[in-house]
Amino acid sequence: MTGDDRDGGGGDDADDGVGRPDVDHPDPDDRLVLEEGCTRCPALVESRTRISWGNGPPDASVLVVGEAPGAGDPAADVWRGGNHTGCAYTSRHSGRRVRRLMADLGYGDDCVYTNAVKCHPEGNRDPTDEELANCRGHLRAELTAVDPAVAVTTGKHATATLLAFEGIELDGFLDGVCEPVDCPTLGVTCLPILHPSYREVWLSRLDLSEAEYRDRIAAELP
């Protein structure tokens, strides 16, 4: 289970850091609403509370792509998750963590955040291949509207759905982390990174420190 709002627990609160300023919650008016009330996936229509649309500056040089919004927390003060805010990457842990990463790398005001699938799948299950395909048109429309130089994909499923535009099948996600892939069909470079909920686990397996990991990402950003 991966995606912008699917919090895996460990490490997220520590990542915030005592005394560090919080990242800003996106303005709902900055959402890129592509199909109000979309009904392409009946099961997702039933399970979602709101459609979680991409958000950020329309001329951003980076588009960050997660898998799908999680259930979220409707009782949270601010960071309730895209299923309740209607904005991708607005969960308390994973959403803020990715936003903080991009801000720390100097792209806090130069990113659009979105998901491969815009609606919460019941039980935080993985989206089906059909659901990913149904929503791929929205992702292409976002890429066309924003025209970023780089699409940062967080995790295996987000990476796979972007590479599907190029007819590339993902084989061994970890081997491709921080390795850019040219996507001429989309006019963008795909940069796979680790899903925030499992970052520490996979960094250990990749034998990378946090600083080395961030340096590798920064080296491939525009």
CB proximity list for 168: less than 8 A, separation 6 or greater: 181
Q: How does residue 4 score in pLDDT terms, banded at 50, 70 and 90? A: low
Percent of the chain with pLDDT strictly greater than 70: 91
The predicted pLDDT at position 107 comes to 97
The predicted pLDDT at position 32 comes to 96
| Ordered domains of the chain (ranges, CATH) | 12-18+28-220 (3.40.470.10)
Average pLDDT of the residues in 70-74: 95
- What is the pTM for the complete model shown? 0.91
The predicted pLDDT at position 7 comes to 46
| Residue 49 phi, psi dihedral angles, 5° rounding | -95, -45
The predicted pLDDT at position 5 comes to 56
Reduce the DSSP state of residue 66 to 3 states and report it: strand
Determine contact, residues 82/69, Cβ cutoff 8 Å: yes
Dump pLDDT digits (tens) for 19-64: 455 899 999 999 999 999 999 999 999 999 999 999 999 999 999 9
